Amino acid sequence: MRRFAATLLLSASLSMGYAACQGTAHPLPKPVFIAKTIVILNNTHNEAVEQGAVEALKRWGKFTIVDDPDLADITLTFDKKSEHDGTSSQKPDKDGNPSSSYSMSFSSSIHMHASLKGASGSFYNATTTEGKKKAGAECIVDLQQAYASGP
């Protein structure tokens, strides 16, 4: 049982990995630079993600946050993706007796898609393995860095 717990703990800690937000690398479209309003659609079922995004947007100070998607120039949609994987193995111990182990890994990521009003697709996508408040904030900071790069 100790071996199982140790294996599970190790797998969980390794699956957390590097948690920086990674966004799309192409230039932002010109209408983004004249946009004034932004709305957040939070499909993560975690209010902290939205809180982190709102706080980061307020610090940035570029956009007015609105509640109605029809009034927003830009829509930010946050989604969560979770994955888990389990593997088992059996090999003989030092005495030749069978020894079984099972490991399980869990991972989740937050995805942000930014789209312009009336556009069919997103102009910017970001993904982070951070959770809760930090995930929302990291995706906004990543968008802010892309914005600073210009059209």
Top-level CATH class of 2-90+101-148?
Answer: alpha beta
Give per-residue pLDDT as tens, 93-123: 888 888 877 777 666 789 999 999 999 899 9
Instruction: Give the start-to-end residue ranges of the domains of the chain.
Output: 2-90+101-148
The model's pTM is 0.71
pLDDT band at 131; cut points 50, 70, 90? confident
Give per-residue pLDDT as tens, 39-93: 999 999 899 999 999 999 999 999 999 999 999 999 999 999 866 677 777 888 8
Query: Given a cut of 70, is residue 11 above it in pLDDT?
Result: no
Q: Which position has the higher pLDDT, 104 or 5?
A: 104
SS3 for the chain is CHHHHHHHHHHHHHHHCCCCCEECCCCCCHHHHHCCEEEEEECCCCHHHHHHHHHHHHHHCCCEECCCHHHCCEEEEEEEEEEEEEEEEEEECCCCCEEEEEEEEEEEEEEEEEEECCCCCCCEEEEECCCHHHHHHHHHHHHHHHHHCCC
